[in-house]
Structure 1
Amino acid sequence: MNTKYDKVMVVDDNQFDIYITSKLITSNGLAKEVLEFDSSILALEYLTNHKEDYDKLPQLIFLDIYMPRIDGFEFIEKLRGLGKAINEYCTLCIVSSTVNDYYIHKAKIDEGITLFTNKPITKEFIKSL
């Protein structure tokens, strides 16, 4: 099966959401490999350790906004600190179950965030990518 991406990363503190998103990604041929992280800290460690190894970097990151310790917006700030190259290579997709208009607006006006979707991610959204 031809896939659009080699690697996609899913960062979400909810295991069920990670499972559903990963299954949708693989079953719809979006990526060959899904990197799953239930901790934004561990995801940032991975990205930091591989920031110059494009074979290990995801081309697309599905990022939950609400997570403990480092939320999605803090994650984005730290990701930006890793350099221009990684930020140009990795596309961000904010995934949220929020109904808070402030957070939706904040995500949509951020220049580094090109995609936004509500939870749960749907097959139609995956196919639209």
Structure 2
Amino acid sequence: MTNSKINMLVIDDDDINIFIIKKVIEKTGYEVDMISKSNGQLAVDYLSSITHNVDIFPHVILVDINMPVLNGWEFLEAYEKLNVLKPDIYLYMLSSSVYEYDIEKAKTFKSVNGFISKPLTIERLKELLQLVTP
């Protein structure tokens, strides 16, 4: 493991899921600085405010689908309009949805790297974090 810290943004309105993700991160052995936002609008505002700060811009973004204010799909539309020019961002939909439609819809967004079904496992998170580390 490299000494560099991995920045992660989790966009989810479920406090229990946020707690679980924090616990999973602890068990990976990776040094991860996790920020969470409870809806897509708060996440867009946050990302807009740090666009030019590469030291804290997320390497990994996990987005839930069903949230108030701006849901996951609306977040993705707004995110893609931000024109973030950082190719090393790994964005995944993280949802409890079992609908094939949602999995297929996620594939239509150029910024989405994949779809992960909740709950996030230690093994799956390790796979994601390995993508980020040199």
Structure 2: give runs of 5+ residues left out of the alignment.
129-134
Structure 1: give runs of 5+ residues left out of the alignment.
none
Shift of 1:36: 1.4
Partner of 1:116: 115
Against the structure 1 CA distance between its residues 31 and 40, is the aligned structure 2 distance closer, same or farther, given a 3 Å change threshold? farther
Tell me if the contact between 1:3 and 1:32 (Cα under 8 Å) persists in the aligned partners: no
> How far, CA to CA, are the matches of 1:117 and 1:4 in structure 2?
25
SS at match of 2:85: helix
Structure 1 window deviating more from structure 2 (98-107 vs 44-53): it is 98-107
Give the alignment's TM-score, normalised by structure 1: 0.87
Identical amino acids, percent of aligned pairs:
32
Partner of 2:11: 11
> How far, CA to CA, are the matches of 2:84 and 2:7 in structure 1?
19
SS at match of 1:117: strand
Partner of 2:131: none
Shift of 1:98: 0.7
* Higher normalized contact order (CA 8 Å, seq sep 6+, divided by chain length): 2
Give the alignment's TM-score, normalised by structure 2: 0.84
Match for 2:18: what amino acid? Answer: I
Listed as ranges, the matches of 1:1-129 within 5 Å are 2=2, 6-86=6-86, 88-129=87-128
> How far, CA to CA, are the matches of 1:72 and 1:53 in structure 2?
24
Tell me if the contact between 2:44 and 2:79 (Cα under 8 Å) persists in the aligned partners: yes
